[in-house]
Amino acid sequence: MVNQDAVAALLKELRLRAGLSQAQLGRRLRHSATWVSKIELSERGIDVHDVTRWAIACGQVVHLSVREAASDSDAAVHELVGEAIDPLVERLNSLIPKLGDRDRLLLEAAADVLERALG
């Protein structure tokens, strides 16, 4: 299970490192300062799409491979990303039989990369 408090702390840390107020980040994400505050206080959940947008808005590079988590925050993000990627890998695998040889090889390679990235 994802530790929502750890994710919230990580997201707040990203915002502070970027030197952004809650209102500034909210504008970048097309949300209110209240929305940002509720996430940082663990009063509202956040999905992997918004985590990615948050990181990018704070000037961070987003990596899918976070296999070696160094802290609780990193482990929480790894689990969150894994939960989002697993259905994508399943969907890619379900499309393979419907494709021609060249496209099937490309899709198999993409699915393998995603599976390896998440250990």
With respect to residue 102, please indicate whether it lies within any of the assigned structural domains.
yes
- In a domain, residue 15? The reply is yes
Higher pLDDT, residue 16 or 87: 16
**Residues 77, 33 share a domain:** no
Within a domain: residue 67?
no
Domain span including residue 24? 4-57
CATH of the domain at 49: 1.10.260.40
Q: Which two tokens stand for residue 90?
A: 């399943």
What angle, 0 to 180 degrees and rounded to 10, lies between the N-to-C axes of helices 33-40 and 22-29? 110
Residue 62 inside a domain? The answer is: no
Mean pLDDT value of segment 54-60 = 85
Domains contained in the chain, number: 2
Burial of 46 (0-12, 13-18, 19+ CB in 10 A): buried
Residue that terminates a domain, selected from 30, 57, 84: 57
Q: What is the pLDDT of residue 59?
A: 83
Q: Taking 50 as the threshold, does the pLDDT of residue 68 lie above it? A: no
Residue bearing the bigger pLDDT, 12 or 71: 12
30 inside domain: yes
Query: Do the domain assignments include residue 31?
Result: yes
For residues 41-68, average pLDDT: 76
Percentage of the chain surpassing pLDDT 90?
A: 25
Model confidence at 116, in pLDDT bands (50, 70, 90)? Answer: low
pLDDT of residue 55: 86
Tell me, yes or no, whether 53 and 12 share the same domain.
yes
